[in-house]
Every structure is written in structure tokens, then in C-alpha cells.
């Protein structure tokens, strides 16, 4: 979010007491924050109470918790596709998806209110508490997460390896390979090995779920929206007579393959990727419902001087993990701009890893197709100044405008392209299974929004938006009601 006005106009300073500011000061901060992040006069803090604080950073940083009731002064729909949405509100209030209640998917009316459990961060400077950045925590107090190095087996120990169970022999062999990659500093080989291992384990897990008769859902990366909504659905769908299981995957392209081949019953994908898969022979794919808009987001450092996709020539660009829809969209955008893959240094780390590498200047740009605001980009924008590049593509994608203030420093709207997130099923999936999923999906939007703010954009009126493949018969019946 753009915090310039907030930081300049509401840089409130408090005496250096251990507890930090009180209720009145917090209410003023939250009101200023709302007016800075959204249109002024849209919200009013009807009530607020301080709920405690957490000190860290050697006593120099303080996170203050509060509970508030926020009143709408005007009608506003936080589930809108082209406005600042629930995710933006969560960022503004220092909350989590679980910390906001009362958002109406059909829009909140003037006079209605939401309940918020939020936070305000402070930093002690010259013995005074100063309002700090609202970006995600970048505390360096967390334990380091560096990888282990493994030593090869000594000559005396090798004689018994053949007597070990097969899976332990593989683990020892894997340790040897990893040790070799670490010794030579071969990050690319380590990344490729990790992706291969994840794929093998995932397919074995899916096979087990299928053999047990579970309702299986393939989602996306564990830090993404597909996975968050999928895990929430897993809990909603499971009961005494049925077990549902959501699986992390590489993303859209792999999910289309899993569903088409009958390895999974349901899956999350991009609408354009599903359409492409159908053309390429994935004739078993059927749409269940569109979910929410997903934009192609191209992120560079603000100090890079890169202003357009055409200027990515000669740069180090991450195109997203293999098997995801990100790579498909990235290549379409690059082709439209006349940028060939041969003219860039390509990597496929994925958004979370790519963001860390952008901070370290190990890459120059990365692509992400997803909801906005995306948590990984919000966190990145709190660490370094970033820029989003406008994008175009010739076919298969829709035009999307990312509103200004979606991310810190984004002071103008960005015109890009995108697609819709889509829930798909195998064409032979039983009607009652599809109905069960849709009834829980549309009947529990508020619960799903606690897992992912993007679920707040799910609505029947948008259920067919951007869908380019045939619907499952049960979905047609349900959506026609």
C-alpha cells in the first residue's frame, strides 16, 4: 500500500514507556491509515480497544494489538475485482484473514460495520515510540534457515548400506548428491532436484488418496491462494462419511494434467491454462466455477531503471516454477513485447524464492500470476522499493487494471493482463460430488475468506467470467438456480 501520506502526515511519536501508545492514540493512527489507504470518508473507527503488545528487537520494537469496530460511511464492495479489496484492507489494518469479520460478499452498506483484530508496529527512536512500516515482519530474530551440509559415508560404514531398507538407501544416496551440489554452490541443480523430489512425493500421495477413495483437490504452492482455499475446502468437505484432501502442487498446468488423467477429482487452475490444455487434448476437463481475477504481475526493483517489458532483454528473469500457469503467461507477455527467451537469462524458482533473490540482486525481474495484493509482493515492497511493469498479450488473457495503492509505492494504477482462477473437475466426476463442493464453496464464503481474502470475490454472478472450457453438468444445474 502507498504509505507516503500516512508516514508524513501521521508520524505520531510517543514517550518511551514500555507499553507504547494507548487507545486514543491507536484510534487516531488506524483512522489515518484507513483514510490514506482508501478513499477518505469511506470508513470511521466506531470503537477501538487496546488488547496488549509484544516487544521484540531487544526492546526497540513493539507490536501493539487492538480490537476495533469499523463503520462504513458509504456503500462499498470489498469483493470487487477492480477496486481495493479485502486483501488491501487486511494490509491497512495490520490484520490477518482470520482477524476481519462482517465483510459482505455482496457489498457492505453505509452504516454497516466490520469487526477487526489488528496490529500497529512501533519502533523506538531516541527513546520515543514512532509508528513503523506496516509491511510484513522482516524480523531478523528468527532462527537462520540455511541448509545443512552432509558428509559422505566413511569407508568403514559403507559395508552395511546394502543391508538397509530400500528407502533408507535412497536417503543416503540423496544426502551424497545434495552434499556435492552444496560443495560446488550449484543452486540451480539444488532447485531442480527439490522440484523433482516434490513432484515424486506429490504423485505418490495423490495415488494413495485415490486408492483410498478420498475427494482429492490439487491446488498450488503452499504460500499461495489456491492452496489456502483448497485447505479450507478440505476441512469443510470432510465429514464422517467422506475424507477430502488438498495437495500442494506446482500450479495450473500440472493441475490440469492431474485432473484430466484422473489422478485428482478437483483442481484449481487459471482459465486460460485450462483452455490451452483442452486444445492440446485434455478432453476430460470440465469447469465447476470461476473464482476471482488473477493478474500477471511483473516485478522489478525501483532502482533498476527498467520501465517496460521490452527492457527485460539482457536481464535475469524468473518465469515461475515449471508446471505452473505463471510460465505460460510470462512467455505470452514476452512474445508480445518481442522479447525472446534467448535474449534473457531464464530461471524457474517461483515467486517466493524469486522475491528473495530480487532483494539480493541475484535476478532482475520475476513474473507472478495471481490475486492482488499478493502476499509475497506485499512483503517484498516492505523490504525494497519495487515497480510493476505494464503488460500486454495478444490472446487468451483479459485486460486487468491493478489499482494504485495496492502495494507500497504503487502510486499509479497498472494496466496488465490476466485471467480468472477456475475450479475444475474430471468430466466423469459424480454430480453429487460437484454439488457438494459448490454448496460448501458458496455457502461458506466467509469461512473461506478467513483462509484467503481472495475468496471474498467469489460470487455466482461472476461464476462464468472468463471460463473458456465446457461446464460440468452438475455445475450448470447449480449455477442456474
The residue to which cell 503488545 is assigned: 53
Exposure string over 87-98, b if 16+ CB within 10 A, otherwise e: bbbbbbbbbebe
Side-chain half-sphere CA neighbours of 70 within 13 A: 31
pLDDT at residue 338 above 80?
Answer: yes
* CATH T-level fold of 214-481: D-Maltodextrin-Binding Protein; domain 2 (3.40.190)
* Cα gap 365→65, rounded to integer Å: 36
State how far the alpha carbon of 71 is from the alpha carbons of 46, 68, 120, 248, in Å: 6, 10, 19, 38
Better-scored residue on pLDDT, 100 or 21? 100
pLDDT at residue 207 above 90?
Answer: no
pLDDT at residue 473 above 80?
Answer: yes
On whether the CB atoms of residues 150 and 173 are closer than 8 A, the answer is: no
State how far the alpha carbon of 15 is from the alpha carbons of 59, 66, 126, in Å: 14, 19, 10
Q: What is the mean pLDDT of the chain?
A: 86
What residues have CB less than 8 Å from 112, skipping those under 6 apart?
71, 72, 102, 104
Model confidence at 162, in pLDDT bands (50, 70, 90)?
A: low
The pLDDT assigned to 211 comes to 80
State how far the alpha carbon of 220 is from the alpha carbons of 32, 246, 252, in Å: 36, 10, 7
pLDDT digit string (tens) for 266-319?
999 999 999 999 999 999 999 999 999 999 999 999 999 999 999 999 999 999
pLDDT at residue 212 above 70?
Answer: yes
pLDDT at residue 157 above 70?
Answer: no
Domain extents in the chain: 4-131, 158-185, 214-481
Better-scored residue on pLDDT, 148 or 397? 397
State how far the alpha carbon of 49 is from the alpha carbons of 52, 69, 115, 136, 270, in Å: 9, 9, 12, 23, 42
pLDDT digit string (tens) for 389-411?
999 987 778 899 999 999 999 99
* Cα gap 293→462, rounded to integer Å: 10
Residue 234, all three cell numbers? 478440505
Amino acid at each position: 500500500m502507498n504509505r507516503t501520506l500516512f508516514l508524513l502526515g501521521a508520524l505520531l511519536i510517543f514517550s518511551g514507556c514500555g507499553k507504547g501508545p494507548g487507545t486514543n492514540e491507536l484510534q487516531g493512527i488506524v483512522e489515518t491509515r484507513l483514510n490514506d489507504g482508501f478513499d477518505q470518508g469511506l470508513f470511521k473507527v466506531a470503537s477501538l480497544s487496546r488488547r496488549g503488545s509484544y516487544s521484540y528487537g531487544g526492546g526497540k520494537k513493539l507490536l501493539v494489538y487492538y480490537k476495533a469496530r469499523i463503520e462504513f460511511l458509504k456503500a462499498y464492495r470489498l469483493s470487487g475485482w477492480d477496486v481495493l479489496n479485502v486483501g488491501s484492507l487486511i494490509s491497512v489494518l495490520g490484520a490477518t484473514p482470520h482477524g476481519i469479520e462482517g465483510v459482505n460478499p455482496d457489498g457492505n452498506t453505509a452504516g454497516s460495520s466490520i469487526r477487526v483484530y489488528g496490529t500497529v508496529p512501533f519502533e523506538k527512536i531516541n527513546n520515543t515510540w514512532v509508528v513503523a512500516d506496516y509491511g510484513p515482519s522482516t524480523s531478523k530474530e528468527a532462527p537462520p534457515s540455511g541448509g545443512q551440509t552432509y558428509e559422505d559415508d566413511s569407508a568403514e560404514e559403507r559395508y552395511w548400506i546394502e543391508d538397509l531398507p530400500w528407502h533408507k538407501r535412497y536417503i543416503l544416496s540423496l544426502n551424497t548428491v545434495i552434499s556435492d551440489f552444496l560443495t560446488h554452490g550449484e543452486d540451480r541443480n539444488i532447485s531442480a532436484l527439490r522440484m523433482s523430489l516434490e513432484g515424486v512425493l506429490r504423485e505418490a500421495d495423490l495415488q494413495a488418496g485415490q486408492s483410498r477413495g478420498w475427494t482429492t483437490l490439487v491446488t498450488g504452492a503452499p504460500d499461495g491462494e489456491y492452496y489456502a482455499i483448497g485447505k479450507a475446502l478440505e476441512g469443510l468437505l470432510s465429514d464422517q462419511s467422506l475424507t477430502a484432501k488438498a495437495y500442494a502442487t506446482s500450479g495450473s498446468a500440472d493441475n490440469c494434467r492431474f485432473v484430466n488423467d484422473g489422478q485428482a477429482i478437483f483442481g484449481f487452475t487459471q482459465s486460460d491454462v485450462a483452455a490451452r490444455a483442452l486444445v492440446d487434448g485434455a478432453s476430460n476437463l470440465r469447469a465447476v466455477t470461476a473464482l476471482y481475477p488473477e493478474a500477471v504481475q511483473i516485478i522489478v526493483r525501483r532502482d533498476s531503471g527498467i520501465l517496460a517489458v521490452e527492457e527485460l532483454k539482457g536481464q535475469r528473469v524468473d518465469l515461475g516454477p515449471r508446471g505452473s500457469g505463471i510460465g505460460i503467461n510470462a512467455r505470452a507477455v514476452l512474445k508480445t513485447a518481442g522479447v525472446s527467451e534467448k535474449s534473457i537469462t531464464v530461471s524457474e524458482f517461483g515467486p517466493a524464492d524469486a522475491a528473495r533473490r530480487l532483494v539480493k540482486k541475484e535476478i532482475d525481474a520475476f513474473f507472478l500470476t495471481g490475486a492482488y495484493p499478493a502476499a509475497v509482493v506485499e512483503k517484498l515492497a516492505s523490504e525494497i522499493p519495487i515497480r510493476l511493469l505494464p503488460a500486454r498479450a495478444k490472446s487468451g488473457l483479459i485486460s486487468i487494471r491493478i489499482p494504485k495503492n495496492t502495494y507500497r509505492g504503487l502510486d499509479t494504477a497498472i494496466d496488465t493482463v490476466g485471467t480468472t482462477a477456475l475450479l475444475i473437475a474430471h468430466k466423469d466426476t459424480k454430480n453429487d460430488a460437484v454439488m457438494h463442493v459448490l454448496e460448501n464453496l458458496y455457502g461458506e464464503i466467509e469461512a473461506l475468506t478467513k483462509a484467503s481474502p481472495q475468496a471474498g470475490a467469489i460470487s455466482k454472478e461472476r461464476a462464468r467470467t472468463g471460463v473458456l472450457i465446457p461446464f460440468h453438468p452438475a455445475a450448470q444445474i447449480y449455477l442456474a438456480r
